[in-house]
Amino acid sequence: MPEDRPQPRHLVSIDDLSLAEMQALFEAAKEFSEDLTAHADRCPGRIAASLFYEPSTRTRLSFESAMLRLGGGVITAADMSVSSASKGESLADTVRVVGGGYADVLVLRHPSEGAARLAAQYSPVPVINAGDGSHEHPTQTLCDLYSLWVERGRIEGLDVVLAGDLRYSRTIHSFAFALARFGANILCVPQGGFELPDYVMQRLREEFGVEPVRANASKMGDLAAQSDVIYMTPQKPHQLSLFTDAKGWNVSHVDAVYMTRPQTERYAEGEGQGTEYLQLGKSALAADSLRDAVVMHPLPRRDEISAEIDGDPRSIYFKQAARGVPIRMAILAALAGELPILDAPPAAGIPTYPVVEGGNPCPNPNCISNTETRHVGAQVALASRLPLRVQCAYCSQRLPVGVVGCRSSRRFHDPASPGLRPVRPEQMVFFVDAAAAERAGYAAASAAHPV
């Protein structure tokens, strides 16, 4: 990247935006939506490149429609399997080439978790994450939040059901974090065996103070008949136990049901077979607690939402898809610098450090640090010091840490040891166990040599 060019803003994660910036995007999208044809003077001469390593219809077309409605242009690589990637070109080289003069913003979809984070490290222009494996999909999250805000007038305090495949749906993961940040309450109704991943639950606990409790879903009817329902709130987590009876937290009213399809393209062989998937139909919507709930879905759907409720005024999933255009118009205009709502520098985020000893510690085989063989250096992120929590900087998977070494003293400590406290993060080296530390030339810290 040229030294005289400022560092661009990227949208890799929903965490890259503050709540105030998200609210400003909603307001801009609402203004755009009043007449989608009236904003062709916003981004004339700007070009967006669609780099899609996975199939997409709605996300790609809505981004391209959004840029065209802003007066810009688009170039598309909708099937990267027939591009230079098929010749072995790395993602890092691709984004440097396309961002080096072909386009002013890159919209990337990739099957590997953390791919957008890697692309942002190399791109000289803004990168927008249009979905990276089962990790995150921040622009879909913004569309979902925007729809919820339009329909309900607020997000804080709403009771939102997340139903279906919660394990592999990147949309669900981003949405859950964003709902917690806005102060909404989350009801998890997972397909059996497809509950929220541990790293998502851990982050909800540690960053937002939510404590999952069992819910009494008797008023949710057919939707929750085959599922163990979990209730989570960032509002008053320590009071939940005071108000739950033996059957769990009583669910009496739901503001929105967010249904997801089975993410079968991410399943292991045989996974999910032999079980009937959750379905939302007329009988389920007749349940007491769902009478006023809007029904949402990121699309495409299979059979998890019956066509019989398409005409129900509570079903807003087609409106939700249409709203992807104005919210993506706002995103593109903001990142292009034509909408002055992202003037503040991005939040620093979780500090990251390269792994210089012991190879790549990430256990996730679908992480970009494992699937991309060139131009990727394994990186760890220190998510928390007390208690110590280390994660992959790309895919957010928690990393196993047995002992922590200090580069300057060449000694290692137990992660909970008080002797670790004086060690600066940039001096830390993380090992799976003491034997690995000793093989790397580190010795156990002692009372005589604590650091």
Known active-site residue 137 = yes
Report the distance separating Cα 93 and Cα 380, nearest Å. 22
SS (HEC) of 204-230: HHHHHCCCCEEEECHHHHHHHCCCCCE
CA atoms within 13 A on the CB side of 126: 22
Other beta carbons less than 10 A from residue 346's beta carbon: 17
Catalytic residue among 5, 87, 238, 424: 87
Short-list 167, 258, 247, 165, CA closest to 213: 247
Catalytic residue among 10, 39, 117, 137: 137
Report the distance separating Cα 38 and Cα 74, nearest Å. 19
Residue 431 bridge partners (DSSP): 403
Known active-site residue 385 = no
Known active-site residue 87 = yes
Short-list 286, 243, 253, CA closest to 185: 253
Determine the distance from the C-alpha atom of residue 52 to the mean position of all C-alpha atoms in its chain, rounded to a whole number.
17
Short-list 279, 223, 281, CA closest to 251: 223
Residue 74 bridge partners (DSSP): 48
Query: Cβ neighbours of residue 376 under 8 Å, at least 6 residues apart?
Result: 92, 118, 368, 369
Rg (CA), the chain: 23
Report the distance separating Cα 173 and Cα 138, nearest Å. 9
Report the distance separating Cα 232 and Cα 164, nearest Å. 17
Catalytic residue among 58, 219, 314, 385: 58
Catalytic residue among 10, 59, 60, 110: 59
Q: Please say whether the beta carbons of 151 and 283 come within 8 A.
A: no
Other beta carbons less than 10 A from residue 4's beta carbon: 5
Give the type of residue at 183.
G
Catalytic residue among 109, 173, 323, 398: 109
- Tokens 């974090």 belong to residue: 177
Query: Cβ neighbours of residue 74 under 8 Å, at least 6 residues apart?
Result: 47, 48, 49, 50, 63, 64, 67, 68
Residue 405 bridge partners (DSSP): 412, 429
Query: Cβ neighbours of residue 90 under 8 Å, at least 6 residues apart?
Result: 372, 373, 374, 375
Known active-site residue 109 = yes
- Tokens 């004086």 belong to residue: 422
φ, ψ of residue 337 to 5 degrees: the values are 80, 10
Active site residues: 58-59, 87, 109, 137
